[in-house]
Chains A and B, each alone.
Chain A
Amino acid sequence: MHALKKNRPLRRIVLASAATVSGMVMLLTLKPHTSPVLATTGTKSPTVSSSSAASGGSGTAGGGSKKSVTKTVTGDTVQTRWGPVQVRVTIKSGKLTEVAAVSYPQDNPRDQEINSYALPQLRREALAAQSAQIDTVSGATYTSDGYRQSLQSALDSAGL
């Protein structure tokens, strides 16, 4: 009984972290502005799911020059193993300034519990990666499968 209780928070954190990573990849694969497209010279280029998911863009021009444009992009709804997720990002002067989940699984108390942790975390990590203005990531060598969940794959497909 006691052991079971102790076990639950850990499970939650594991699930939430997994949700965060996939959410982050999904989020950064939105292609809101002039991001370069992956070249296709290779035969087995990995593609990150929903890389062409940017479905709508309501541009609100904040000035004449391209640099001061604020743009809001809502991605397509993506099916995750936890349910459908849809994300909206705001880009100001080419920088990610806000990340919000438009729809996400909230059918049961466990979903809600995970969301309360994962969604703020997702937002924080996406904004942190953006503000760090990194071009690439060094870390322990990932496998081809590991790559698909990596921050590097998000950077590659978002062309940040």
Chain B
Amino acid sequence: MADAVAEPAEAPAALRHAEEVMGTVFSFDVRGGEPGAVRQALGTAVAGLHRADALFSTYREDSEVSRLARGGLTVAQVAPEVAEVLDMAAEAERVSDGWFSPRYRGSVDPTGIVKGWAAERAARLLAAVDGVCGVSVNGGGDVQMLGAPEPQRPWRVGIADPLRPGGLAAVISAAGAEELSVATSGTAERGAHIVDPRTGRPAVTDLVSVTVVGPRLTWVDCWATAAFAMGSRAGLAWLESLPDIEALLITAGDEVRCTGGLAARLG
């Protein structure tokens, strides 16, 4: 009970947790539900993240993905989660015309999709608990939100300003959306780490950050990565063409560019 604090008025109880996994930290915020049941589901969700890390990590020699890349495993032999993610990664590659790639230097490497997929899966698991009215799972800066934290208040996500550390470039509100996710790709935290699949080298781009907003984090995370590699002009045009997707791009020159429907999501 120590974790679940009843707030004044009718606000549902909140359970928060931060878990270090996949080289980053996942932050959970779950509202409502019976505390024991929520805590148990949180344990399952966290175990799922560690299992995903064990299956997908390219830093672990014994992960299924590493074994797949070495040829020690075939696609027919992998765990169902790995097969599911590889299928989704292939679809992301198709939709992005190759700008999202599930390979690195010719080897299978679905790293770009795993974190978003894992955070979305964890959020859905928690939302399925009886009485839970709102879930937010933030996987290292990419967020899946379901429901709402309180009856009259939507989830609100600050977009980190890549050019002003500690500051926010915008605030996105999930008002009216039963599910919403926000993913950001950029150089602010780990430098030029996004690879242009066409050259195999760090993407040459005029962007410092791309934030994509849409219902499912699995896809939104892939689209942010792909658009970052495309650059502001092509990236914005492509994002504008995707249904149910909005975006905010920030260039190295401190210009902000948005898709047409983003304004309706700004809080």
- Which A residues lie at the B interface, using CB under 8 A? 17, 20-21, 24, 34-39, 41-42, 44-46, 66-67, 94, 125, 128-129, 132-144, 146-147, 151-153, 155-156, 159
Give complex CA distance A129, B115 in Å: 26
User: 22 A-B residue contacts at CB 8 Å?
Assistant: A34-B5, A35-B5, A36-B4, A36-B15, A36-B16, A39-B17, A39-B39, A132-B156, A132-B171, A134-B158, A136-B143, A137-B157, A137-B168, A138-B138, A138-B141, A139-B159, A140-B189, A141-B141, A142-B25, A142-B140, A143-B189, A143-B190
One of A17, A42, A141 near B19 (C-beta < 8 A): A42
B138 touches A38 (CB 8 A): no
Q: Closest chain A residue to B161 by CB distance?
A: A139
Cross-chain contact A41 with B43 (CB below 8 angstroms): yes
- CA distance in complex: A42, B3 (Å): 14
* B260 located at the interface, meaning its Cβ lies under 8 Å from any Cβ of chain A in the complex: no
CB distance from A70 to the nearest CB of B (A): 15
Nearest B-chain residue to A21, judged by Cβ: B166
**Complex CA–CA separation, A132 to B170 (angstroms):** 9
Is B20's CB under 8 angstroms from A46's CB?
yes
In the assembled complex, the Cα of A72 lies from the Cα of B90 at a distance in Å of 55
Q: How far is the CA of A146 from the CA of B189 in the complex (A)?
A: 7
Chain B residues with Cβ under 8 A from A34's Cβ?
A: 5, 7
Once A24-B166, A136-B29 are accepted as A-B contacts, the answer to whether A39 and B156 lie under 8 Å apart by CB is no
Give the B interface residue count (CB, 8 A).
57
Bound Cα distance from A21 to B186, whole angstroms: 19
Give A38 to B23 CA distance when docked, in angstroms: 20
Question: Which of B17, B140, B142 is the one whose CB lies under 8 Å from A38?
Answer: B17
Q: Is B42 interfacial (CB-CB < 8 Å)? A: yes
B141 contacts A142, CB within 8 Å?
yes
The distance in angstroms between the C-alpha atoms of A102 and B159, with both chains bound, is: 31
Rounded to whole angstroms, the CA-CA distance of A138 and B46 in the bound complex is 20
Q: Does B155 contact A (CB under 8 A)?
A: yes
A143 to B24, CA, bound (A): 5
Pairwise interchain contact A134-B156, C-beta atoms closer than 8 A: yes
Asked if B157 and A136 make an inter-chain contact with CB atoms under 8 angstroms apart, the answer reads: yes
Contact in complex: A135, B136 (CB < 8 Å): yes
